């Protein structure tokens, strides 16, 4: 088999890149280790920068998002059970869209099916070859038979644990990482959200987040030690702890119910440089991880895909390799700004194991400054709704 681009990873980054390339007549094959059902079962974030919304529109998969998604024009922050709102529209004239990553993936699958594009699931042992030559290829095993796809380029969209990043020589690859000493215990419930917009809460007991997937399905988080086990948290214990940490008026109107999913996610900041080596490009979690506090993970992946699509389109339509040569630097410039924002939100809102009363007061004072300063609110709104591409 031959394709112009082989995309490793059938999550939203890989599927979006495949969809954008298909619409421009560039043939791409997507290889995914898991089954489609497994990919669609993963519970992930769903706060989209408006630039990500526009990119999904450009890919032709925005109709259901606009029909069912929830546009948000602001966000609530809280300290010690009292909250305030930052108005994105008033500060920067933009908003965000709440639409689950699972739904985005389903929309992309549907578009790819309709186009008759090739997506190969349960592709095991995926291995790129010849990435530093003019004739790269990728091998994989399916149903016990080894297959080979010759190509021009390989896009590694296979996540933090995927094979793509490991193909860059250790003498070339440089990694930057911070692992945080806590996790997020998340609960999904078929209950109406406690707020019309997200609530990020700082409390001396730890961070909490009130989010949602739809008008009838809520997603809530509380900060917990990494040593905690999901089984040790009953639904009642979770709801009681959430009430302690969020604003009092929100706690009073919180509607609770049985959890339909419960998990603990660790937090880390991670960046790999460069994001291109030879004919290989990294995109999304294969190249970088952000703590979810800034709602940047999926949005950064969309940004990478947007840059990579532009670079490949220029190569095939105009013979212009400027975008290919500059892809890594261009993507990393935006990645590091999002890393900074996510890190700063994480530092401001979480309780650290060795945190002193002085540091707790500094966090509370930072939030008080945000509440009173138009300039600080504008900076946060600019970063949260998305820096320019």
User: Looking up tokens 């290989």, which residue turns up?
Assistant: 280
CATH of 5-72+95-176+268-345, one of 3.10.180.10, 3.40.30.10, 3.50.50.60, 3.40.50.720: 3.50.50.60
Any catalytic annotation for residue 384? yes
Q: What is the pLDDT of residue 45?
A: 72
Does 151 score more than 80 pLDDT? Answer: yes
Average pLDDT of the segment spanning 39-49 = 87
Does 267 score more than 90 pLDDT? Answer: yes
Among residues 180, 200, 220, 327, the one annotated as catalytic is 200
User: 347: exposed, middle or buried (C-beta count within 10 Å: 0-12, 13-18, 19+)?
Assistant: middle
**Structure confidence by residue, pLDDT tens digits, 286-331:** 999 999 999 999 999 999 999 999 999 999 999 999 999 999 999 9
Among residues 292, 307, 309, 315, the one annotated as catalytic is 292
Architecture of the domain spanning 181-267+350-385 = 2-Layer Sandwich (3.30)
pTM: 0.96
Among residues 288, 296, 315, 350, the one annotated as catalytic is 296
Instruction: Look at residues 200, 182, 189, 334 and name the one whose alpha carbon lies nearest to residue 259.
Output: 189
**Domain limits, the chain:** 5-72+95-176+268-345, 181-267+350-385
**Structure confidence by residue, pLDDT tens digits, 60-117:** 999 999 999 999 999 999 999 999 999 999 999 999 999 999 999 999 999 999 999 9
Copy the structure tokens of residue 92: 């920067």
Q: For the chain, what is the mean pLDDT?
A: 97
Q: What is the dihedral of CA 364, 365, 368, 370, to 10 degrees?
A: -100
Among residues 99, 221, 316, 384, the one annotated as catalytic is 384
User: 144: exposed, middle or buried (C-beta count within 10 Å: 0-12, 13-18, 19+)?
Assistant: exposed
Among residues 22, 72, 315, 350, the one annotated as catalytic is 72
Any catalytic annotation for residue 200? yes
Alpha helices (H) in the chain, listed in sequence order: 12-23, 36-41, 50-58, 63-68, 88-92, 101-115, 235-245, 248-253, 297-318, 322-349, 357-372, 374-385
Any catalytic annotation for residue 72? yes
């Amino acid at each position: 088999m031959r394709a112009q681009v082989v995309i490793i990873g059938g999550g939203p980054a890989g599927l979006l890149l495949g969809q954008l390339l298909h619409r421009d007549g560039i043939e791409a094959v997507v290889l995914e280790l898991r089954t489609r059902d497994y990919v669609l079962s993963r519970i992930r974030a769903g706060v989209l920068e408006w630039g990500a919304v526009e990119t999904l529109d450009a890919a032709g998969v925005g109709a259901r998002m606009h029909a069912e998604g929830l546009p948000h024009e602001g966000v609530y922050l809280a300290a010690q059970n009292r909250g305030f709102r930052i108005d994105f529209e008033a500060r920067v004239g933009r908003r965000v869209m709440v639409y689950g990553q699972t739904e985005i993936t389903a929309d992309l699958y549907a578009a790819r099916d309709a186009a008759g594009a090739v997506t190969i699931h349960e592709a095991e042992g995926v291995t790129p070859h010849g990435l530093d030559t003019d004739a790269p290829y990728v091998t994989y095993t399916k149903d016990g038979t080894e297959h080979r796809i010759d190509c021009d380029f390989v896009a590694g969209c296979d996540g933090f644990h995927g094979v793509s990043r490991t193909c860059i020589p250790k003498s070339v690859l440089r990694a930057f990482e911070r692992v945080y000493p806590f996790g997020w215990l998340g609960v999904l419930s078929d209950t109406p959200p406690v707020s019309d917009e997200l609530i990020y809460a700082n409390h001396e007991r730890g961070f909490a987040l009130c989010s949602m997937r739809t008008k009838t399905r809520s997603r809530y988080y509380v900060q917990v030690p990494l040593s905690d086990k999901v089984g040790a948290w009953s639904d009642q214990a979770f709801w009681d702890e959430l009430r302690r940490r969020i604003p009092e008026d929100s706690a009073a109107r919180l509607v609770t119910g049985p959890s339909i999913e419960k998990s603990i996610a660790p937090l880390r900041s991670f960046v790999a440089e460069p994001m291109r080596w030879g004919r290989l490009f990294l995109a999304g979690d294969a190249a970088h991880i952000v703590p979810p506090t800034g709602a940047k993970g999926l949005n950064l992946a969309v940004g990478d895909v947007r840059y990579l699509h532009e670079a490949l389109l220029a190569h095939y339509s105009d013979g212009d390799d400027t975008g290919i040569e500059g892809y890594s630097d261009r993507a990393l410039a935006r990645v590091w700004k999002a890393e900074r924002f996510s890190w700063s939100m994480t530092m401001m809102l979480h309780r650290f194991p060795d945190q002193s009363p002085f540091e707790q007061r500094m966090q509370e004072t930072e939030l008080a400054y945000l509440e009173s300063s138009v300039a600080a609110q504008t900076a946060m709104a600019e970063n949260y709704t998305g820096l320019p591409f």
